Amino acid sequence: MAQPANAEEVSPNIGVEGTSQYYGEMQGEYDEEAELSSKDREFGRQNGQKDGKEGKNGFGPTINRDDIQVPEKVKHQDEYQDGYEQGYREGWQQEHPLLGVVFDVFDLIWGAVGGFFSLAN
């Protein structure tokens, strides 16, 4: 019959400190990456807002994602483009407040009608 193990014979949980250190390092890397991502998005928003005020896309508050030129120093291209689109719309609407409202209403109606017909299928 098996005998119970003595408490002295059970090995202590080795590696808890190492695991905590590993996860601490991973969290630090994640925080650093998130900060870089956030900076790229803000950089894109600032550039987009400037270009939106200047009306570089022509007529309208939107810009084609493929037309956004991402600087080489940007590490998170998608974040930069998301920020650029947001900033472009903000800048354009600051320069064209009345047309901005018209575009917003049109966008709302277009979305509702598109949603209605997609449900019909």
Identify the band that residue 86 occupies on the pLDDT scale cut at 50, 70 and 90: very high
CA dist., res. 40 & res. 79, Å (int): 6
At 11-34, the pLDDT tens digits run 555 555 666 666 666 677 778 888
Q: Choose between 22 and 47: higher pLDDT.
A: 47
Q: What is the dihedral of CA 85, 88, 93, 96, to 10 degrees?
A: -130
Angle at 41 between CA 33 and CA 98, to 5 degrees: 160
The H or E element containing residue 32 is: helix 16-54
CB 79 within 8 A of CB 39: no
What is the average pLDDT score of the chain?
A: 83
Examine the pLDDT at 8 and tell me if it is beyond 80.
no
pLDDT > 70: percent of the chain? 75
User: Tens of pLDDT along 90-117?
Assistant: 999 999 999 989 998 998 999 999 888 8
Mean pLDDT of all residues in 59-80:
91
Helix (H, G, I), strand (E, B) or coil at 77: helix
- At residue 52 the predicted structure's pLDDT band, cuts being 50, 70 and 90, is very high
